[in-house]
Amino acid sequence: MEAGLEIRVRGQVQGVGFRPFVWQLAREFGLRGEVFNDAEGVLIRVVGGDLAAFQAALTARAPALSRIDVVEARDRAFSVAPAAFAIAPSRGEGAETRVTPDAATCPDCLAEIRGVGRRRGYAFTNCTQCGPRFTILRQLPYDRARTTMADFPMCPACRAEYQNPADRRFHAQPIACPDCGPRLWLEREGAEWPGDAVAGAADLLARGAILAVKGLGGFHLACDAGNAAAVDRLRARKRRPAKPFALMARAADLAGFCAPSPADLALMRNPAAPIVLVPGTGALPETVAPGMRHLGVMLPYTPLHHLLLDAVGRPLVMTSGNLSGAPQVIANDEARAKLGAFADAFLMHDRDIARRLDDSVERADPPMVLRRARGRVPGTLPLPAGFEEAPQVLALGGQMKSAICLVKGGQALLSHHLGDLDEALTWEEFLTAIADYGRLFGHRPVRVACDAHPGYRATQHARTLGLPVVEVQHHHAHLAACLAENGWPRDGGPVAGIVLDGTGYGPDGTVWGGELLLGDYRTVERVGHLAPAPLPGGDAAAREPWRNLLVRLDAAGLADVADRMLPDAPRAALRAAVRAGLNAPASSSAGRLFDAVAAALGLCPGGQSYEGEAAMRLEALAGDLPADRPYAFDGLDPAPVIRAVVADFDAGCPKPLIAARFHAGLARAFADPAKALVESGRARAVALSGGCFQNARLLSEVRFCLRSVKVLIHRETPANDGGLALGQALVAASGKLPQMESS
């Protein structure tokens, strides 16, 4: 018998080169034994050598893409001492470990495709430190046979690399080369074009064509970002008149059209390679991002993207390959059928995409995730203290920006962005995601959490699952999501929550959206809110900002001004409906207040072509301009602000200054009473959540006002409804049905 150790490593440790890393450490420290993947992560059995130094190095020198949650070691006696250290085959099935997100091309692989070796110009080059992961995975453990690479048998050269523990491609499951891997081609009018596919695609783009390009998580639609006619043609074909387009460019080309900060560049170069919002310089046509000061820019993150951008030599529009509102296309035949009306040609390949993932969208400063998707999922968040024994929970999120959340084994897994569940194809994707995540991660929920809105499709679906249902008020879920991301303990005490968004179902039957809450995971009290105004036309008020301007002007005693500002609007009919209470529910929505102020300044008053357009334009209008005089609310009643906006507008005050004064005034109106709750001892911190806090100007203003107290914000999960399921899950896992009190 020989004494040794059995070491369990849990976390994101599969598909990141962890086993060859362990093999190299074992050789360095003179150990014998084995390492293998299983359903719980990585298991190491070792004997001999310097065991203490080996254990310390496991965490101190772990591969860059790994995320270790815990290392558990116990004594093990070896009846037959191993003669050497080996990497053993994976064992067992199931899903107690974490899956690695897709990772951008690493420097070594990029140098290889630009070099002279056998992978020169090869669009599917990867190693253990980069390449597809979640988008090709069919089931765990993560082995090639369980990915969409199973259809590509390795050639002898690739197999030799794959089997060599000293090679950076040891057990890189997507390993490939031109002799054995996926194939790329350019397709036009149903036929494959001869010649080099990348060169042909670059030539078409240079001549103003629109291309459908197959990426990691789906197809993109691409065109020359400097060609206004091509961008406008893409807008017309995609029926996307004004929503900003994402851009892709090489790092060397960024200075030609944007001004990224060092923090922006660092985020762009992260292995997640998200779209990052960076200041534009005005060099590109206005049609790329109408009315915006910032551009959404990403670096090439696959070898195909690098090769294409090298060939084109200029920034490209790179937007999701779909009709606006519908899920991104992922399959070749699906692309031909659905994108044929948009694209002049297709840059295709024959590696299947196991699940569709949009590009993540983020800011670097202040740090925030606007859309959590490729490169970030399926990363997990550790549950806060007090939730160690939390049951398995499935949370279904909301109606807009839908995402689901799974709680299991002390971790919360927030899914990728799914979209608006009113869209039929997104609803199908939502149901698919529930089954896919549940199967992939061996999830067996004992309760389901959902929004309290009875009309939400996710809420209705929750009641069909045969599990106990926990309905969580919309803004309580936002608050809980912020607490969860910040690791706020289950018994950490109450916090003041400033929750500002578009709409959320209130237990009093009104529509909430500008809320000051006090509570935790289990209970919450509404201690303040924006003075309500009707939503004339119901959902139409969210699409047409002039409606919100009309009712806010009327409430401020400025009906005559409304008649002057909105001469062509059906004012009489709308006012009659409001008086009669017909399809005009009362709402405290901060989002609709943004719409009203934007409309007063002439920003898309008639209608919005995408959700949040008016508010985003108002934020862009304010820019970084200092607010010399924040508008003063009467408590949380915006009537004085509306009057001040009109007075300044009529006096010829610059519109950017009016926008800046509004942001500063709204921030102070909520920050002051929230700070008072902390200073009085009723709250221990202030949490900021809700879609309005995607507005960097508003977030910065509120944080400045709260600089003397502890403030919790979203950084890794969306403040908008994309993070709602996380909060629902933690409320449901807290063990007590939530209570909403009002005062």
Domains defined along the chain, listed by start: 2-87 (3.30.70.100), 184-362 (3.90.870.40), 378-486+716-742 (3.30.420.360), 533-712 (3.30.420.40)
For residue 743, what pLDDT band results from cuts at 50, 70 and 90? very low
Strand, coil or helix: 6: strand
- Going 507 to 508 to 511 to 517, the CA torsion angle's sign is negative
Q: What is the pLDDT of residue 280?
A: 98
For residue 97, what pLDDT band results from cuts at 50, 70 and 90? low
740 has pLDDT over 80: no
Who wins on pLDDT, 98 or 232? 232
Question: For residues 632-660, b (16+ Cβ closer than 10 Å) or e, as one string?
Answer: ebeebebbebbbbbbebbeeeeebbbbbb
741 has pLDDT over 80: no
Amino acid identity of residue 186, one-letter, is L
617 has pLDDT over 70: yes
Who wins on pLDDT, 561 or 37? 561
Calculate mean pLDDT across residues 714-743. 84
How wide is the angle at C-alpha 27 spanned by C-alphas 25 and 29, nearest 5°?
Answer: 70
Task: Give the pLDDT confidence of 657-704 residue by residue, as tens digits.
Answer: 999 999 999 999 999 999 999 999 999 999 999 999 999 999 999 999
* Nearest alpha-carbon partner for 349 in 134, 210, 159, 201: 201
The pair of structure tokens assigned to 26 is 């074992």
Task: Give the pLDDT confidence of 70-90 residue by residue, as tens digits.
Answer: 899 999 888 887 889 998 888
Confirm whether 19 is a catalytic residue: yes
Q: Write down the catalytic residue from 37, 126, 332, 486.
A: 37
Question: For the chain, what percent of residues have pLDDT higher than 70?
Answer: 98
96 has pLDDT over 80: no
Q: What is the pLDDT of residue 90?
A: 80
* Nearest alpha-carbon partner for 376 in 168, 98, 652, 115: 98
Q: How far is 514 from 529, CA to CA, in rounded Å?
A: 5
Q: Based on the number of CB atoms within 10 Å of its own CB, is 285 exposed (0-12), middle (13-18) or buried (19 or more)?
A: middle
Amino acid identity of residue 734, one-letter, is S
Q: Write down the catalytic residue from 19, 133, 169, 351.
A: 19
Confirm whether 76 is a catalytic residue: no
Q: What is the pLDDT of residue 16?
A: 84
Calculate mean pLDDT across residues 520-545. 96
Task: Determine how β-strand 219-224 pairs with β-strand 380-382.
Answer: unpaired
Q: Where are the alpha helices (DSSP H) in 441-570?
A: 457-462, 474-485, 540-543, 545-555, 559-565
Measured CA to CA in angstroms, residue 587 lies from 400, 453, 540, 570, 739 at distances of: 18, 15, 13, 21, 21
Task: Give the pLDDT confidence of 100-152 residue by residue, as tens digits.
Answer: 899 999 999 999 999 999 999 999 999 999 999 999 999 877 789 999 999 99
Whether residue 454 contacts residue 506, with contact meaning beta carbons closer than 8 Å, is answered with no
Whether residue 326 contacts residue 222, with contact meaning beta carbons closer than 8 Å, is answered with no
Q: What one-character DSSP code corresponds to residue 2?
A: E
| Residues 6+ positions from 25 with CB-CB distance below 8 Å | 31, 54, 57, 58, 61
Q: How far is 585 from 592, CA to CA, in rounded Å?
A: 13
Task: Give the pLDDT confidence of 49-67 residue by residue, as tens digits.
Answer: 899 999 999 999 998 888 8
For residue 22, what pLDDT band results from cuts at 50, 70 and 90? very high
| Residues 6+ positions from 569 with CB-CB distance below 8 Å | 546, 550
Q: What is the pLDDT of residue 93?
A: 61
Q: What is the pLDDT of residue 355?
A: 92
Task: Give the pLDDT confidence of 407-454 residue by residue, as tens digits.
Answer: 998 999 999 999 999 999 899 999 999 999 998 888 999 999 999 999
Q: How far is 99 from 432, CA to CA, in rounded Å?
A: 18
Q: What is the pLDDT of residue 540?
A: 94
Q: How far is 409 from 96, CA to CA, in rounded Å?
A: 8
386 has pLDDT over 80: yes
* Nearest alpha-carbon partner for 40 in 564, 321, 411: 411
